[in-house]
């Protein structure tokens, strides 16, 4: 099973930008922790970061047929991007959105969330640990999907005659 982690604008500046909000951890450190979890759970993982909305849309679309899950921190695009929302809906891949800060306790404009309605779940306000929670959640979702697919295959097979 494959999970693609897509990071939006300014997340490449973690560890430098607004540490009182986002903390001192760098994006590379977060990704290293996620990779450790993925390796222990036999999950293939790919990381992508872009400051450009169109590149994020392209990456989501590239996941179609290639990945079984997406973990997405759309960052500021969370509040503005119908294009990212539509891409998530179009590919139909379970997506968990992550936000390091609690966007519901911040500025009014951050309370509008364009992508949450098309995501399987959201992890908000746990700092970098939110990515670990998202990995745990995605692992659970993928196990449930695999179990459901196995049941469907078993139901489609003709009953063996005695």
Catalytic member of 99, 104, 131, 132: 99
In angstroms, the CA 61 to CA 20 distance is: 34
> Using an 8 Å Cβ cutoff, are 82 and 115 in contact?
no
> Using an 8 Å Cβ cutoff, are 45 and 2 in contact?
yes
User: Which string of b and e fits 46-83 if b means at least 16 CB within 10 Å?
Assistant: ebbbbbebeebbebbeebeeebbbbbbbbbebbbebee
Tell me whether residue 131 is one of the annotated catalytic residues: no
Tell me whether residue 132 is one of the annotated catalytic residues: no
Catalytic member of 22, 31, 64, 132: 22
**Alpha-carbon separation of residue 108 from 81, 85, 103, 105, 116 (angstroms):** 16, 20, 9, 8, 16
Annotated catalytic residues are: 22, 99
């Amino acid at each position: 099973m494959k999970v693609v982690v897509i990071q939006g604008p300014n997340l490449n500046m973690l560890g430098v930008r607004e540490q009182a909000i986002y903390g001192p951890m760098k994006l590379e450190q977060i990704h290293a922790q996620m990779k450790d979890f993925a390796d222990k759970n036999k999950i293939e993982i790919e990381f992508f970061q872009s400051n450009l909305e169109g590149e994020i849309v392209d990456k989501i679309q590239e996941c179609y047929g290639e990945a079984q899950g997406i973990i997405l921190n759309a960052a500021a695009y969370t509040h503005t991007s119908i294009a990212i929302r539509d891409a998530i809906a179009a590919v139909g891949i379970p997506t968990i959105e992550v936000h390091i800060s609690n966007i519901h306790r911040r500025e009014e404009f951050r309370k509008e969330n364009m992508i949450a309605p098309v995501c399987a779940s959201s992890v908000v306000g746990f700092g970098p640990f939110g990515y670990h929670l998202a990995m745990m959640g995605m692992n659970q979702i993928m196990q449930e999907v695999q179990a459901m697919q196995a049941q469907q295959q078993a139901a489609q097979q003709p009953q063996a005659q005695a």
